[in-house]
Amino acid sequence: MADAIRPDSADALAAIIADTASDGTRLRLRGGGSKDAIGAPTPDARIVDMRGFSGVVDYDPPELVLTVKAGTPLAEVQALVADKGQMLAFDPFDHGAMLGGADGEATIGGIVAAGVAGPTRVSRGATRDHLLGFEGVSGRGERFVAGAKVVKNVTGYDLSKLITGSWGRLAAMTELTLKVLPAPRLRLTLGVAGLDPAAAVAAMARAMGSAAEVSAAAHLPNRQGSPLTLIRLDGFPSSVEARATIVDRLVDGIAPLADPEAAALWTAIASATDLPAGVPLWRIVAPAAQMHGVIASVTGDWLMDWAGGLLWLASPDDPQAIRAAAERAGGHAMLVRADAAMRAVVPALHPQPKPLAALEERVRRAFDPAGVFETGRF
């Protein structure tokens, strides 16, 4: 692997990309490297280390807007907003430990590029719902801006949606503007033991569909020997208390869990760190009401987040079989963790139907005509 390049200005980055576009080298954009082990290995690609773009550009808490350089560590951003009683509401998490490394390296740019959203995504929206705008450099080596630095804007195409989760294949983001929200004063986790997957999904759906304003709901099939279904309520204490009585009426036998154990459970759910490490790890997104069908047709260990809409699956099963099960449920499966040999032959992202794949290809070429960012990783 060639040496990494670490530009420290957007102009320098633009020059690197423009030069590369003409000599056929491929560029792999990298933040802290916490997700290096996702996707096919790319031995020939040149790494662009984006951590030269670091620091806060503007943060005015009552405006609910934060502008930050893309290479700023996630932990730094989270500490900054927490200090003002706010949060990144899409609940991003670090992939370091999940992928056999250490937490703490993830950058905010990497989080956005990978569209990483945690348990409260089910109630507060995905990463893409909180990216208001960005500055970046396209595969043509041109600096451009998209979106804006206010919370409400429909001027021009919403390129912020497109770049979120694009895994560095459209443009190199140098600066991001994110919507931030007040952090809840209280988080209360309620738990009920003993539900099978279908009953758990049904219980979570009842709670999600009620006035209890559930912020997260998850199901662990084997927590110390028994299934455990979790419902979380966030907000002002008087409100959380009132909503807990609603959940209590809807789900028999549910009761509060104590912190800090409950908080630790949510962290483990977000990054699936309690699932066995030695087997391939899949991330399956499908309508919650269909997820039990996926569970019934695979082997391995799993957990459900997003009220059943997200299945983390550690399974040695045939990738085709897993993807077919996800498709039957109206969803898709991403290969998040596997050894290099498997990643070289099994694409990380779920293959798209042909006409859609062709359109995606044209959209990628609209940003990156020479394929500078097409490293073969995805």
Partner 1 sequence: MPAPDQTVLARRGEIVAAMRAIVPGEGVIDTPDGLRPYESDALTAYRQPPMVVVLPETTEQVAAILRWCHANHVKVVPRGAGTSLSGGALPLADGVLLGMARFNRILEVDYADRLAVVQPGVTNLAITRAVEDEGFYYAPDPSSQIACTIGGNVAENSGGVHCLKYGLTTNNVLGVEFVTIEGEVLRVGGRGLEPAGLDLLGIIVGSEGLLGVVTEVTVRLLPRPETARALLIGFPEVEGAGRCVADVIAAGIIPAGMEMMDKPAVHAAEAFVQVGYPLDVEALLIVELDGPAAECSHLLEEVETIARANGAVSIRISTDDAERVAFWAGRKAAFPAAGRLAPDYLCMDGTIPRRRLPDVLTRMRALSEQYGLGVINVFHAGDGNLHPLILYDANKPGELEQAEAFGADILRLCVEVGGVLTGEHGVGVEKRDLMPVMFSPVDLAQQQRVKCAFDPELLLNPGKMFPELHRCAELGRMHVHRGALPFPDLPRF
CB-nearer residue toward partner 1: 238 or 299: 238
- Give the binding range for partner 1 (CB under 8 A) out of 33-41, 190-198, 337-345, 358-366: 358-366
Binding mask 176-205 for partner 1 (x = CB under 8 A): -----xxxxx----------------x--x
Q: Which two tokens stand for residue 127?
A: 């990463």
Q: Give the integer Cα–Cα distance in Å for 244 and 246.
A: 5
Q: Which of 5, 15, 64, 263 binds partner 1 (CB under 8 A)?
A: 64
Residues 6 or more apart whose CB falls under 8 angstroms from that of 251 comprise: 190, 192, 203, 206, 207, 229, 231
**CA contacts within 13 A on the Cβ side of 107:** 26
Binds partner 1 by CB under 8 A, chosen from 5, 57, 145, 257: 145
Quick check: 94 and 36 in contact, CB under 8 A?
no
Which 94-123 positions form the footprint of partner 1 (CB under 8 A)?
Answer: 115, 121-122
Q: Which of residues 260-289 bind partner 1 (CB under 8 A)?
A: 285-289
Cis peptide before 369 (omega within 30 of 0): no
Per CB under 8 A, the list member of 9, 56, 82, 85 interacting with partner 1 is: 85
362: number of CA atoms within 13 Å, CB side?
5
Question: Which among 108, 14, 4 is positioned nearest to 54, based on CA atoms?
Answer: 108
User: Binding residues for partner 1, how many (CB under 8 A)?
Assistant: 86
Q: Is 79 in the site for partner 1 (CB under 8 A)?
A: no
Q: Figure out which of the listed residues 3, 23, 102, 156 binds partner 1, where binding follows CB under 8 A.
A: 156
- Of residues 145 and 279, the one with the C-beta less far from partner 1: 145
- The site map against partner 1 for 233-252 (x = CB under 8 A) is --xx-xx-xxx--x------
| Nearer Cβ to partner 1 (120/189) | 120
Among 125, 221, 300, 376, contact with partner 1 (rule: CB under 8 A): 125
Among 155, 224, 225, 341, binds partner 1 (CB under 8 A): 155
CB 1 → partner 1: shortest distance, Å? 27
Residues 6+ apart with CB under 8 A from 233: 187, 188, 190, 212, 213, 214, 215, 240, 243, 244, 247
Angle at 10 between CA 137 and CA 2, to 5 degrees: 80
Window 328 to 357, contacts with partner 1 (CB under 8 A): 330-332, 334, 349-350, 352, 355-357
Listed ranges 33-41, 92-100, 215-223, 302-310: which one lies at the site for partner 1 (CB under 8 A): 302-310
Told to check if 148 binds partner 1 by CB under 8 A, we report: yes
Out of 213, 248, 274, 317, the only residue in the binding site for partner 1 (CB under 8 A) is: 213
**Contacts (CB under 8 A) with partner 1, residues 32-61:** 60-61
H runs (alpha helix) in the chain: 10-23, 74-83, 108-114, 121-124, 159-163, 197-208, 237-250, 261-271, 291-296, 319-328, 340-345, 354-367
CB of 288 closer than 8 Å to CB of 315: no
Closer CB to partner 1, 104 or 287, in the complex: 287
Q: Are strands 131-138 and 301-305 parallel, antiparallel or unpaired?
A: unpaired
Q: Which residue has the tokens 């032959």?
A: 345
Place of tokens 């031995």: 43
Point out which span in 47-55, 103-111, 210-218, 258-266 binds partner 1 (CB under 8 A): 210-218
